[in-house]
Amino acid sequence: MARNLEVSIRIEMNETDAPLSANSEKAEAISSGHFRLVLDGAKSLDIDALENGLLNTSYPAIRQALATYLADEVKKMPNQNASYS
């Protein structure tokens, strides 16, 4: 019987001394499934900029998570099938 799948996500917004992201529309990948975007501190209460920054960071993460998961699942298939034959 197939096991259930847990999806979890945690988004953090912290102050940082890191320099601003070169492209505010594109999040940089730090590691697998981990993306970040450094926004201008002067816009800490700019709802538009914050929402845009969050979406620009989360969508690549969602896309990558889905792609990685599917690739891994497909990779498992030949092994599973091989064991049946």
Partner 1 sequence: MLAIPNSQVVCHRARYRVDGEVGRFEFETYDVLDTDGRIAFHGFNTLPIRTGKQWYQTAGFKKNAILHGALDRSYRKTAVAFNIQRRQVKGGTPLSTLRDAAESQGVAVIAAIEDETQRTFAEHRFTNQGQHIVPIEPSSPDSPPKKLPTFNVVKVEEAWQETSREMNHRGFTQEQIAKAKVQANELSVHEYESPEHTTNIFVDEVCIKKQKPHRKPTSASVVEDSDDELKRVHTTVARIEHQGKGFTLVGANLLTILRFILAFLLRNGLSQHRLRFYVDGQRTLQDGILTFFSWHRSVSLILDWFHIVKKFKELLSMAMKGRVYRNEQVKAVLRLLWYGLVDDAIAHLRSVNPDLIKDPSQIEALIGYLERNRSWIPNYAMRRRLKLCNSSNPVERTNNLVASQRQKKNGMSWSTYGSLALSALACVVLNKRTKEWLTECQFSLTFDTAA
User: In this complex, which beta carbon is closest to partner 1, that of residue 40 or of residue 51?
Assistant: 51
Give the separation between CA 57 and CA 68, rounded to whole angstroms.
17
Least distance (Å) between residue 30 CB and partner 1:
22
Least distance (Å) between residue 48 CB and partner 1:
4
E strands, the chain, in order: 28-31, 34-36
Query: What residues make contact with partner 1 under the rule CB under 8 A?
Result: 45, 47-48, 51-52, 54-55
Least distance (Å) between residue 11 CB and partner 1:
11
By the 8 A CB rule, do 30 and 4 touch? no
